[in-house]
Amino acid sequence: MGRCVVTGGAGFLGSHLTEKLLREKHEVVVLDNLITGSLRNIEHLGGNPLFLFKKENVSEAVLVDGQVDFIFHFASPASPIDYLEFPIPTLKVGAMGTHNALGAAKVKKAGFLLASTSEVYGDPLEHPQKETYWGNVNPIGPRGVYDEAKRYAESITMAYHRCHKIPTRIARIFNTYGPRMRLKDGRIVPNFLSQALRGEDLTVYGNGLQTRSFCFVDDLIEGIYALFQKDFHDPVNLGNPTELTVLEFAETIIRMTKSSSKIKYFSLPEDDPKVRKPDIQRAEKVLGWRPKTSLEEGLEKTIYYFKKEMRQ
Q: Give residue 197's identity as a one-letter amino acid code.
A: L
Give min distance, CB of 150 to ligand UDP, in A: 12
Q: Which residue is nearest to ligand UDP (CB)?
A: 187
Q: Binding to ligand UDP by residue 169, rule CB under 6 A?
A: no
Binding to ligand UDP (CB under 6 A) within 206-245 occurs at 210, 212
Give the nearer residue to ligand UDP in terms of CB position, either 149 or 166.
149
Sign of the four-CA dihedral 132, 164, 4, 154: negative
Are the C-beta atoms of residues 194 and 306 closer than 8 Å to each other? yes
Residue of 7, 76, 191, 237 that binds ligand UDP (CB under 6 A): 191
Binding part of the chain for ligand UDP, among 42-50, 58-66, 121-129, 203-211 by CB under 6 A, reads 203-211
Give the nearer residue to ligand UDP in terms of CB position, either 187 or 282.
187
Give the nearer residue to ligand UDP in terms of CB position, either 161 or 212.
212
Residue of 133, 152, 205, 232 that binds ligand UDP (CB under 6 A): 205
Q: Give residue 104's identity as a one-letter amino acid code.
A: A
Sign of the four-CA dihedral 168, 174, 180, 185: positive
Residue of 133, 256, 269, 271 that binds ligand UDP (CB under 6 A): 269
Give min distance, CB of 175 to ligand UDP, in A: 5
Q: How far is residue 211 CA from its own chain's centroid? A: 18
# residues near ligand UDP by CB under 6 A: 14
Binding to ligand UDP (CB under 6 A) within 170-189 occurs at 175, 187-188
Q: Is 146 a catalytic residue?
A: yes
Binding part of the chain for ligand UDP, among 60-68, 199-207, 221-229, 284-292 by CB under 6 A, reads 199-207
Give min distance, CB of 273 to ligand UDP, in A: 6
Binding site for ligand UDP (CB under 6 A): 80, 175, 187-188, 191, 203-205, 210, 212, 246, 268-269, 272
Which positions are annotated as active-site residues? 146
